[in-house]
Structure 1
Amino acid sequence: MTKEELAAQLNGLEYPTRIPGTLIIAAQSAGLVILCGASDDLMEFYGARREEIGCYDGGMAFVDADGVLPDRDCVDGDEEVAEYVHRQKSAKTIEALWSKEDGYSWTYKTDIPHATFEVVEDGAPYCRGIVFALADAA
């Protein structure tokens, strides 16, 4: 499955977003990561990697070939901090934009090649999520 094919299947999901298990398994098998927003403070990653990053009023996530770096506030201990800093140096960024595009609560900005899909709430746009290949974050 390609990122474009997966995004097409995700398009039109209703918020709160519940991604069907079959699509999460397909994403895992294809090395794809699904990103969408939740509430007013979360970036939710599913598929090849599962992570939740706090981003009240917007924020930044870091991704490398090993996956999404954990929320910096959750990193503890000298070894974990050293690993986080080492990975962050070469990681690509995904910026979560809160209410920056007309009609959307969440959109994302990144240089990682990706496909987009729309999550709706009561028929109106809520989030423009993205799907990307974990390999493209290397």
Structure 2
Amino acid sequence: MLKEYLAALLDGIQYPADRSITKDQIEAAKAAGLVIVFGASDDLMELEGAIRDEFGCYDGGTALIDAEGLLPERENIEDDDELREYFKRKPMARKIEALWCKEDGYSWTYSTDIPHSTFDVLDGEDHYCRGIVFALADLGPQVTS
């Protein structure tokens, strides 16, 4: 499955997206190495598919991601081993910026240099979120020890 195809399948789903994306779509995304990114509430970036996680981003924020998944937020790391792992992964990590109410008519949009396709999440007939789909392979290789 290609990211463009999955984005086209998801286009027009209803908010909350985590209830509109089917288990089959999530499994197909996972098998194809695709990641689906969408907003939830006023403070979350959700990831489904090849990476399943969430990023707290009240009023917007920037997540760092690599082939292993989301990097933890630096200020929340207390363990030395986790800190070493963070600094090892950070140089290869890519950014996904969650933008809260920055584009007319959308609560959530995303900005990233990761090649991606977009889809709209609707709240009734209104736009709620412009989500993205990207391939895990476009994040580069996993960091090895």
- Please classify the TM superposition score into its range, dividing by the shorter chain length: over 0.9
* 1:4 matched residue in structure 2: 4
Q: What 5-or-longer segments of structure 2 have no aligned partner? A: 141-145
Count of residues paired in the alignment = 138
- 1:33–1:84 Cα change, 3 Å: same
The separation in 2 between residues aligned to 1:76 and 1:50, in whole angstroms, is 23
After superposing on structure 2, the runs of 4+ consecutive aligned residues of structure 1 that deviate more than 6 Å are none
- Indicate yes or no: 2:52 matched with 1:63: no
Equivalent pair of 1:54/1:71 in contact (CA under 8 Å): no
Q: Specify the alignment match of 2:91 in structure 1.
A: 89
- The TM-score, its normalising length taken from structure 1, stands at 0.95
In the alignment, is the contact (CA less than 8 A) between 1:52 and 1:71 conserved in 2? no
SS in 2 for 1:125: strand
Deviation at 1:3, TM superposition (A): 0.1
Q: 2:135 maps to what in 1?
A: 133
Q: Percent identity?
A: 61
Q: Distance in 2 between matches of 1:25 and 1:72?
A: 31
TM-score, normalization by structure 2: 0.90
Instruction: Tell me how large the CA RMSD over aligned residues is.
Output: 1.2
Name the amino acid aligned to 2:125.
G
Residue 85 of structure 1 deviates from its aligned partner by 2.0
Give the letter aligned to residue 66 of structure 2.
D
Superposition map of 1:23-62 within 5 A: 23-62=25-64
